[in-house]
Amino acid sequence: MTNPTTLTATPGLPYVDTVREFEATPEQLFRAQTDPDLVAQWLGPRELEMTVLEYDVRPGGSYRYIHTDPASGTEYVFRGVFHTVEKATLLIQTFEWEGAPGQVSLDTSRYEDLGGRTRLHQHSVFPSVEVRDAMVSSGMERGVVDSMNRLDELLAGAGLPR
The letter for the amino acid at 26 is P
Task: With a cut of 70, say whether residue 160 has pLDDT above it.
Answer: no
Dihedral sign, Cα of residue 8, residue 113, residue 42, residue 127: positive
The letter for the amino acid at 151 is L
pLDDT for the residue numbered 2: 72
The residues pairing with 28 across neighbouring beta strands, listed in sequence order, are none
Among 118, 131, 150, which residue's Cα sits nearest to residue 44?
Answer: 150
Q: Is the pTM of this model over 0.75?
A: yes
Q: How confident is the model at residue 1 (pLDDT cuts 50, 70, 90)?
A: very low
In the chain, what are the domains? 5-44+86-95+102-158 (3.30.530.20)
Section 110-127 average pLDDT: 97
Section 57-83 average pLDDT: 97
**How does DSSP classify residue 23?**
S
For the stretch 3-31, pLDDT in tens is 999 999 999 999 999 999 999 999 999 99
